[in-house]
Structures are given as structure tokens and as C-alpha cells.
Copies of this chain bind each other. A is one copy, B any other.
């Protein structure tokens, strides 16, 4: 453990991957949290972090962290009460459960738990109330700790982009075509030969995640149950030669009429609930609506709101579904590490951390 500074010590599971690195980068000067423990697969365990990681962030790896020894992903080796998981889906279920059983609060970016009925799937600006599932989860599973999940990288940007429309007029049908960045597949991820002078119109499992997670996020918490939203969603995904930033082409049919100018107004004025807006990583505003006809663009707009805001553009009428727009969000910040961090900040401010 590093020396205390009054901040809450946290552990990062899967610390050597891209999302783990981004978490370390985002946590390097955080007002609430301090990286105390880094854990990774047995291949890395025991080495100093700086030796085990292939550091890819633009900022230098903080020297103190470079020296931190890597722990195994096992609660008996980590003392932190708050645990960020950037684990690979193949091992996430088992390890995260062990941490919850050991009384830790786990905020995970991994996919496997997301659609479990008693696990909250949270975009803080939209469904902070779903955190009430934690109680049911603990009761039902007999865990002293708990697990909260961060949605898929595309799902988060999409959900934020349509949240004001859902509130204003109700989403009825949703067609989304994505152009997703290479970093979404982690490192090594997609081979150069697949994305040089090329585009791949497929990402395994991605379309299902977008179609199902969105409905859970916009679901209503009734009693101890989230009743999924009932709109229809259809996703078609592509991997494009972009480092960071998922772009989405969105067409929406609303239940109530909503003309594009009104939609722009609703999108621009959208704000998170105060308890969320005041969190250190919350972007204010969460949505930027750009007026240029050729924006948003990944390289120019992914950094908006420190990578936590969603940039929209080309909001206009669609002759078929009624409304269409382009949305962009930073997939490894808002869509992964930053989203996870914002959830943890919310847990902290609600005093839900051990």
C-alpha cells in the first residue's frame, strides 16, 4: 500500500490493460481516491507495474506507481474497499464475485454481469436510482460487498445522446450505426491489416449489448425490479481506423412529436441531477450540440469535457423515423474508465463504499 493522504485507497484489477491504464491516468490527481493497489493476471503478478505494463497513455506513468508491485487478482491480496475492475470478460465473473464476497465494492467495466437482474447498470446522469438494486443484490446473494456495472462503451454514449429525447418525447424506435475506434478492442486488439485502408463491419457481441443494455438503463425501478424500457433498438456496428472515439449515426422515432429544433433545445439544456453534476468527473454539460455541418469528428471532439461529454451534430429530421443525429463519445474515457470512475464517485458521495 502507498502512504495515506486522506483519500480513499482503491485497487485496480486488470491494471495493465488499456482501461486499467486509463483509470490510473484519471486517478492520478483525484480528490476522492488514490490508487493503492494494482492487480493483474498471474503472468504479471509480482513484477513492478512499470515493468509489466506496456504503457500507452499520452501522460507519463507516475513514478510512484511504476514501482508498485502487481498483486494477484485475489481479495486476500488486496485491502482496498473500493475495487475498479478492468478485467477481461473471461475471468471477470469469478474474480469479481470473490471480491464482493469479501466485502468489497466492485465497480466493473466487464460485460458478463451487466444484464443480471439484481446488478445495477449505471449511467449516473440517467439512472442513479438503479443503485437501489445494491441492497437487493446483497440480500439475495448474501454478499457483504457488491458489484455495480458500467455499460458497454457504445451504449453509454448512445444512452446519453438519447436521454433528453426519452425524457421529452419517449423513444419508440432506435436505429444506430456505429463507427468504433480501435482502442475499444484493447491491446493488442485489432491487427493493423484489418484496419489499414479498411473497415470491419462487425464486432462480436457488440450489437446485442447495445440493443439490450440501453433498455435496462432506461428501465424503471419498480420495487426491487428494473422493468426494461420497451422501445425497439437495432444496432449495426463497424470498426474504423480511429484510435479513440466512437461515432454513432442515430435515427429515432419518438412517441410524442419532437421537431429537430426542440430536440436540439432539449439536448443542450440537459443536465444531470445535482448529486451527479457535482461529482469531480461529471461533465457539465453532459451533452454538447455542435452547429457545424461536419462535426462531431473523433479526433477533434473526443476530448470534450475531458473525454466525459458526448458531442452531437447534424441533429435534423429523418424522413423515416423522424429524427436523426451523429453522436461521439470517448470510448476509453466516458465509455470505460471514466464511466466507471463516475459511478465510483457517486457511490462515494452516497456513502455506499465500505
Task: List the interface of chain A (C-beta within 8 A of B).
Answer: 56, 58-60, 173-175, 177, 179, 182-183, 187-202, 211, 232-234, 236, 238, 240-243, 247, 249, 251, 293-300, 303-304, 313-314, 318-321, 324, 326
Name A288's closest neighbour in chain B (CB-CB): B60
Would you call A199 and B324 a contact (CB within 8 A)?
Answer: no
Would you call A179 and B240 a contact (CB within 8 A)?
Answer: yes
Would you call B243 and A240 a contact (CB within 8 A)?
Answer: no
**Given contacts A234-B319, A320-B234, is CB(A192)–CB(B241) below 8 Å?**
yes
Name A303's closest neighbour in chain B (CB-CB): B58
Would you call A238 and B249 a contact (CB within 8 A)?
Answer: yes
What is the distance, in angstroms, from A142's C-beta to the closest C-beta of chain B? 38
Would you call A196 and B243 a contact (CB within 8 A)?
Answer: yes
> Which B residues lie within 8 Å of A242 (CB)?
196-199
**Given contacts A249-B177, A300-B56, A318-B234, is CB(A195)–CB(B197) below 8 Å?**
no
- 12 additional A-B pairs beyond A175-B321, A197-B197, A240-B241, beta carbons within 8 Å, are A175-B251, A190-B191, A197-B242, A198-B297, A198-B298, A198-B299, A198-B300, A199-B242, A201-B294, A201-B295, A233-B319, A234-B319
What are 24 pairs between A and B in contact, CB < 8 Å? A177-B236, A182-B192, A182-B193, A182-B196, A183-B193, A189-B191, A190-B191, A191-B192, A192-B192, A196-B243, A197-B197, A198-B242, A198-B297, A199-B247, A201-B296, A201-B297, A201-B314, A202-B293, A211-B319, A232-B319, A233-B319, A234-B324, A236-B324, A241-B241
Would you call B240 and A202 a contact (CB within 8 A)?
Answer: no
Would you call A201 and B236 a contact (CB within 8 A)?
Answer: no
Q: Which 5 A-B pairs have the closest CB atoms?
A: A188-B191, A202-B294, A177-B177, A198-B299, A182-B192
What is the distance, in angstroms, from A159's C-beta to the closest C-beta of chain B? 18
How many angstroms from the CA of A88 to the CA of B232 in the assembled complex? Answer: 43
Would you call A201 and B249 a contact (CB within 8 A)?
Answer: yes
> Which B residues lie within 8 Å of A179 (CB)?
179, 199, 238, 240
What is the distance, in angstroms, from A346's C-beta to the closest C-beta of chain B? 26
> Which B residues lie within 8 Å of A249 (CB)?
177, 201, 236, 238
> Which B residues lie within 8 Å of A303 (CB)?
58-59
How many angstroms from the CA of A202 to the CA of B313 in the assembled complex? Answer: 10
Which residue of B174, B192, B238, B300 is within 8 Å of A195 (Cβ)?
B192
